[in-house]
Structure 1
Amino acid sequence: MKAPKSILVLLILALVAVGCKQTKENTEEQEVEVEQEVVEETQPELTLVKLEGSPAYEDAALMLNNPSGEAIVAAGAIDFEFQVENYELGAQTSGPNAERLANSGKGQHIHFILNNQPYSAHYEPAFSKEVPDGVHHLVAFLSRSYHESVKNENSVVVRKLEVGDNPQDANGLDMEAPTLIYSRPKGEYAGKDVENVLLDFFVLNTTLSEDGNKVKATINGTEFIISEWAPHVMSGLPLGEVTISLELIDADGNMIPGPFNSVTRTVMLKE
């Protein structure tokens, strides 16, 4: 028995509708795939390149006049007095890197780091800092206005501070051991400052080389091996939170023991 024409028409219309729906779904899937491909193609590659072109300041020197020794009787606000030679605190560092990198409008300064914690920046040679009871590892060095450390044998002060009546050495400090000190990046970056972000650190009691000790930098999961003590620039970073880990490693890739030789920090990149 033949089906009525009306039923045949309805069946044909239903088949057409199903076909149109599948075609639409396929088209939407293809559009999503194309969008994903475009996003992947437009995301810049993360690179780490040695920074060059900064004034060397080979004769710049930093000395700590107060406190004069290791022992400090009472915890709390401690007065620090540095002496700076052949270097002008508060001045803007000359050269193209001042425009290329995040730059402090207050000029050149001292990075003051206690126990490898985030530094405080000081634009005058004398200031007061809160220091609790205990045995502390102090590193202070001269910094350009865009936060690149000055790296010579006289531009840094390294001191053990024993604070309180019976200070306890929680870190087991060995002041002669190879030590890694983190400096940059730090905090938040926005606008053009996200394009080139400075990676900088200090190494003490060791040198870096192709066949010797190195620094392993892991940036958002991507590893880089640094075999020269030099500042570097990170480019192609995504907006949002960025995680940076630094490790001081030996020639075989093993981390060198030390309380500060593995450190992880996060910074925020904004539009």
Structure 2
Amino acid sequence: MKKINSLLSILFLASFIACEEAPTKADEENKNEEPTEIVEKESEIKFYELEGSPKFPEAKLSMLSPTSPMLEEGEVEFAFQVENYNLKDQTENAGENGLANSHHGQHVHFILNNGPYSAHYEDAFTKDLPQGEHLVLAFLSRSYHESVKNENSYTLAKLSVGEPTEEQMLDVDFEAPHLFYSRPKGTYTGKEQTDKVMLDFFLLNTELAEDGHKVKVIINGENEFMVTKWAPYVMEGLPMGENTVALELVDAEGNYVEGPFNKVERTFTLAEAEESKTEM
């Protein structure tokens, strides 16, 4: 009897140890997994507000022609009145802020349907407009292509050219918030242009704030910054070659603000050689 009791005790103890040490299915699945590590990725690109630009609070731009929004297809003459601002002047701190600068001086940025701007150093010029409805934005620019941001420094007009088809109609609410892309653009060459690259955009009918509308900036698809102040910004540490910048107007919760131009992505190039250098 004592032998039977001893045997039962041994079997019970062995069973208890087995239950304590036997791996479960979950143990088997997780035994080779590394602990989850949350790493905050640090951007190699420096992104900060550009400060120190001369202010032009009284600068004003008005469009004199065309005088009618209905136009024929082809060459269209645009004429502007510029007040309290001198085209062709070098902006006071040009060459001191490390940004690409136009040796032609201050000018007008002309943007058609939020496409890449053209720079104009005279107050009158012609543009070849195709059939369709088009939105024209023009604003004053410093010699290093930073937009002048005040309530009178720009003009906005919707033009109907030829006989637009239904697909060419442009639905634009002039009271709604709008975001327009300006810089960077084209090719930047040489150390003096590629070390610091300016990001600039133009806003209408909205202000940026921590608890309001913001502009989401994504550089090269992975470096994200949230802008809460309408200002020019500087990017440092960009790689040579092709780069991209994406802008998106969002609300306080980070949701996209609907609009025909409120989300845009552009490509620009940084080059070491001077052979492809062009006026920007």
TM-score of the pair, normalised by structure 1: 0.81
Q: Conserved in 2, the CA contact under 8 Å of 1:63 and 1:84?
A: yes
Give the aligned partner of residue 223 of structure 1: 224
Give the aligned partner of residue 252 of structure 2: 251
Q: Which amino acid aligns with 2:198?
A: L
Q: 2: distance between equivalents of 1:99 and 1:199?
A: 14
Give the aligned partner of residue 4 of structure 1: none
Moved over 6 A (4+): none
Q: Conserved in 2, the CA contact under 8 Å of 1:53 and 1:96?
A: no
Q: Which amino acid aligns with 1:265?
A: R
SS of equivalent residue, structure 2 residue 193 = helix
How far does the alpha carbon of each residue in 1:102-136 deviate from its partner, in whole angstroms, 9 at most, with x for none? 00010000000010000000000000001111111
Q: 1: distance between equivalents of 2:179 and 2:121?
A: 24
Give the aligned partner of residue 111 of structure 2: 113
How far does the alpha carbon of each residue in 1:142-192 deviate from its partner, in whole angstroms, 9 at most, with x for none? 000000000000000011111113464444222221110000000011112
Q: Conserved in 2, the CA contact under 8 Å of 1:135 and 1:167?
A: no
Q: 2: distance between equivalents of 1:154 and 1:87?
A: 12
Q: Conserved in 2, the CA contact under 8 Å of 1:98 and 1:146?
A: no
Q: 2: distance between equivalents of 1:166 and 1:265?
A: 27
Sequence identity (%): 55
Given candidates 149, 152, 168, the residue that maps to 1:151 is 149
Q: 2: distance between equivalents of 1:98 and 1:258?
A: 37
Q: Which amino acid aligns with 1:124?
A: E
Q: 2: distance between equivalents of 1:146 and 1:98?
A: 11
Q: 1: distance between equivalents of 2:182 and 2:63?
A: 20
Q: 1:121 to 1:98 in 2, by over 3 A?
A: farther
Q: Does 1:262 align with 2:263?
A: yes
Q: 2: distance between equivalents of 1:75 and 1:142?
A: 26
Q: Conserved in 2, the CA contact under 8 Å of 1:102 and 1:146?
A: yes
Higher share in helix: 1
Q: Which runs of 5+ in 2 are unaligned?
A: 1-42, 273-280
Q: Which amino acid aligns with 1:139?
A: L
Q: Conserved in 2, the CA contact under 8 Å of 1:109 and 1:145?
A: yes
Give the aligned partner of residue 56 of structure 2: 57
Structure having the higher Rg: 2
How far does the alpha carbon of each residue in 1:72-93 deviate from its partner, in whole angstroms, 9 at most, with x for none? 2x11110000000011111100
Q: Which amino acid aligns with 2:104?
A: K
Q: 1: distance between equivalents of 2:208 and 2:136?
A: 22
Q: 1:50 to 1:269 in 2, by over 3 A?
A: same
Number of aligned residue pairs: give it.
227
Q: Which amino acid aligns with 1:187?
A: G
Q: 2: distance between equivalents of 1:206 and 1:79?
A: 31
Q: Which amino acid aligns with 1:87?
A: Y
Give the aligned partner of residue 9 of structure 2: none
TM-score of the pair, normalised by structure 2: 0.78
Q: Which amino acid aligns with 2:213?
A: N
Give the aligned partner of residue 186 of structure 1: 185
Q: Conserved in 1, the CA contact under 8 Å of 2:75 and 2:129?
A: yes
Of 143-152 and 172-181, more deviation after overlay is shown by 172-181
Q: Conserved in 1, the CA contact under 8 Å of 2:132 and 2:163?
A: no
